[in-house]
Chain A
């Protein structure tokens, strides 16, 4: 069995009887065991997986086949899964067995997918290196000394290492796209509102968006179709037509924003230029576009995300669920001790930054100012989409860096998100896909599309991936 088979290949293998869902589940469970050192998973529910696989085999025999029947996928541990630990990689939720399924989990189950486990991540999705997890760092399967990116690092590394057919992730400022780029997989952050946030533990509610990490644009589209759609349980859920994942390609104008390309290192510029030429050879045309407020995005993002995080994380009080300090003398101590013991240092830093931005005397200078610039950033994109159909950019200023290289320096870590936060602030869909290798590590490129333009991004991604093999590269198995 091929651990790097696509969802489409697994579908036909299951339907043709080449292997059973039970065999496939055993195969992936064994691989997860063998790759334990990567630390991709927080929870693996082998018993539940095998029971679900038996049901899937019955469904396949009865010809009751959904698009993902019998396909093992893993969920980032930010998605609530009924009856399974949902920790958000925090000590705060180390004992939190979710009482319900997130809409994303529910929809993927209905499409037939088997939840093989819950993937490791940065604590409360706050991080760009997967080093802030209470459960320890995730290693990059391409180079175990390097980070897998974050915050959906466990999901990206699990797909790259062939431990699941695909995974879910969440993206607030780049948390699907940057780890996808660092691990050489394809990740999609949908338009804000496209995928329900119900049951996805909140970090920054005006930015958070769930999406797939997969082996190809085609697989990402299959997962998106199963995940997306209006949900009355999420008041920000958008009413939109499902993404057409089979649309045919047409000649596009591809916007090249100087603000994203000018400061790029020579080695990444070389890879990105090559990708641009490939796209041009497919009949698309590169046009210059301007996104003049790009350099303010990191500042704006950290104010808005911090402010929303400090508000969202006020719910962790040690009373209704989650970590509770052992013997507080009074109610104030209960709050303070439970929160201080439950949250790690990066989470505390973000709560305090957000509290500062929202506090009396600073609200106008930070929070309102950030929201004003957020409008300017969004307007830049709307103007650029007058000139171009999609925008092509790097995903990250570097390839995967070494563990502990940036963890003590929050500013350098935050600046890793410089190319991903603008699309988040504007609520735009963005696809991260492998486009080359630099120093033996994968490099990703980003397609940013207009609101609800996922079909355009995925179609171009499929076209590029039918012409190139970068998405088909995978790291050598450590135990080979």
Chain B
């Protein structure tokens, strides 16, 4: 773990940090990686990864159209909307 890795992770996560917080983050992430590196000592040869604790597959609903929400009600909590559209800074000049 180094500052370069931290930069990459911040960029992938769309996060930024104050300079003072970067040092602490580097220390914390290094010790977290130290903690999780304990996993290397466990023999997992031939073990299937487990993604779901009950090992059931995701159930699918029938593919039938349904109106489950009211657009106006849901958009009432949006920071900025106009005519039912979400507003963001201009992307195309």
For A327, the closest partner residue in chain B by CB is: B89
Chain A residues with CB under 8 A of B33: 356
Are A206's CB and B89's CB within 8 A? no
B9's contact among A321, A356, A378, A425, by CB below 8 Å, is which?
A: A356
Stretch in contact with the other chain, from A181-189, A218-226, A336-344, A471-479: A336-344
- Chain B positions within 8 Å of A428 at CB level: 53
Chain B window 73-93, contacts with chain A (Cβ cutoff 8 Å), 1 for yes, 0 for no? 110111110000010111100
Chain B residues lying within 8 Å of A206, measured Cβ to Cβ, are 51-53
A250 interface contact, C-beta 8 A = no
The answer to whether the Cβ of B13 comes within 8 Å of any Cβ in the partner chain is yes
A310 touches B (CB below 8 Å): yes
Alpha-carbon gap, A91 to B86, bound state (A): 21
**Of all chain B residues, which has the CB nearest A423?**
B53
CB-based contact B12/A411 at 8 Å: no
The interface centre, meaning the residue of B10, B14, B33 with most chain A CB atoms within 10 A of its CB, is B14
Q: A236-B58, A296-B38, A319-B79 are in contact. Are A334 and B88 (CB under 8 A)?
A: yes
Q: Which residues of B are found within 8 Å of A17, using beta-carbon distances?
A: none
Binds B, one of A43-51, A128-136, A147-155, A299-307: A299-307
Q: Number of A interface residues, CB 8 Å?
A: 74
Are B54's CB and A193's CB within 8 A?
yes
Q: Do A348 and B36 contact each other (CB < 8 Å), given the known contacts A356-B29, A375-B50? A: no
Residues of B within 8 A of A302 (CB): 32, 35-36
Answer whether residue B28 sits at the interface, using C-beta atoms and an 8 A cutoff: yes
Q: Pick from B29, B42, B69, B88: contact of A373, CB below 8 A.
A: B42
Contact A319 B15 (CB under 8 A): no
- Closest Cβ of chain B to A197, distance in Å, is 13
CB pair B28–A349 under 8 Å, yes or no, is yes
Q: When each residue 21-64 of chain B gets 1 if its CB lies under 8 Å from chain A and 0 otherwise, what string results?
A: 10001001101111111111010100111111110101111000
Q: Is A261 an interface residue (CB 8 A)?
A: no
Q: In the complex, what residue of chain A is closest to B61 when comparing beta carbons?
A: A232
Closest A residue to B91 using CB positions: A331
- Greatest chain B CB density within 10 A among A372, A378, A410 is at A372
A372/B49 in contact, CB under 8 A: yes
Complex interface: chain B residues within 8 A of A207 (CB): 53
Bound form: Cα–Cα A320–B28 in Å:
32
Chain A 404-438: CB-based contact to B (< 8 A → 1; otherwise 0): 00000011001000000000011110000000000
Residues on A with beta carbons closer than 8 Å to the beta carbon of B9: 352, 355-356, 359
Residues in B whose Cβ lies below 8 Å from that of A295? 38
Whether B32 contacts A319 by the Cβ 8 Å rule is no
User: In the bound complex, do residue B29 and residue A349 qualify as a contact, i.e. CB atoms below 8 Å apart?
Assistant: yes
Chain A: minimal CB distance from B11 (Å): 9
Are B54's CB and A355's CB within 8 A? no
Q: Report how far A426 CA is from B53 CA in the complex, Å.
A: 5
- Determine whether the beta carbon of A345 is less than 8 Å from that of B21: yes
The interface residues of chain A, by DSSP majority, are classed as helix
Considering the chains assembled together, what is the distance between the CA atoms of A60 and B78 in angstroms? 40
Q: Does A451 contact B (CB under 8 A)?
A: yes
Question: Is B3 part of the binding interface, using a Cβ–Cβ cutoff of 8 Å?
Answer: no
The answer to whether A330 touches B89 (Cβ under 8 A) is yes
Among B42, B53, B58, point to the contact of A293 (Cβ < 8 A): B42
Distance of A475 Cα from B47 Cα, bound (Å): 48
What CA separation (Å) do A328 and B88 show in the bound complex?
A: 9
What 0/1 pattern do residues 368 to 406 of A give for CB contact below 8 A with B? 111111111010000000000000000000000000000
Whether B42 lies near A376 (C-beta < 8 A) is: yes
Instruction: Name the residue of chain B whose CB is nearest to the CB of A356.
Output: B9
Q: Which of B29, B39, B76 makes the CB contact (< 8 A) with A300? A: B39
The answer to whether B4 has its CB under 8 Å from any CB of chain A is no
The CA of A326 and the CA of B14, in the complex, are separated in Å by 16
The answer to whether B54 touches A318 (Cβ under 8 A) is: no
Q: Which residues of B contact A370 (CB under 8 A)?
A: 36, 39
Distance in Å: Cβ of A448 to nearest Cβ of chain B: 13
Chain B's nearest CB lies how many Å from the CB of A376?
6
- Residue A283 CB within 8 A of the other chain: no
| Cβ-neighbour of B52 out of A236, A310, A339, A365 (below 8 A) | A236
In the complex, the chain B residue whose C-beta lies closest to that of A349 is B28
Residues of B within 8 A of A317 (CB): 14
Q: Are A336 and B12 interface neighbours, CB within 8 A? A: no
Are B16 and A371 in contact, CB atoms less than 8 angstroms apart?
no
B15 touches A99 (CB 8 A): no
> Which residues from chain A contact B56 at a C-beta distance below 8 Å?
193, 238
A28 in the interface (beta carbon within 8 A): no
Whether B67 sits at the interface, judged by CB under 8 Å, is no
- Assess the B35–A340 pair: CB atoms within 8 A: no
> From A298, which residue of chain B is reached at the shortest CB distance?
B35
Is residue A353 contacting chain B, with contact meaning CB distance below 8 A? Answer: yes
Instruction: Tell me the B residues contacting A by CB distance below 8 Å.
Output: 5-6, 8-10, 12-17, 21, 25, 28-29, 31-40, 42, 44, 47-54, 56, 58-61, 69, 73-74, 76-80, 86, 88-91
Some 8 contacts from A to B, beta carbons below 8 A apart, are A99-B74, A235-B58, A302-B32, A331-B91, A333-B89, A339-B14, A348-B25, A368-B49
Instruction: Please give 6 more A-B residue pairs, beta carbons under 8 A apart, in addition to A331-B89, A349-B29, A375-B50.
Output: A99-B69, A206-B53, A340-B16, A352-B10, A355-B13, A371-B51
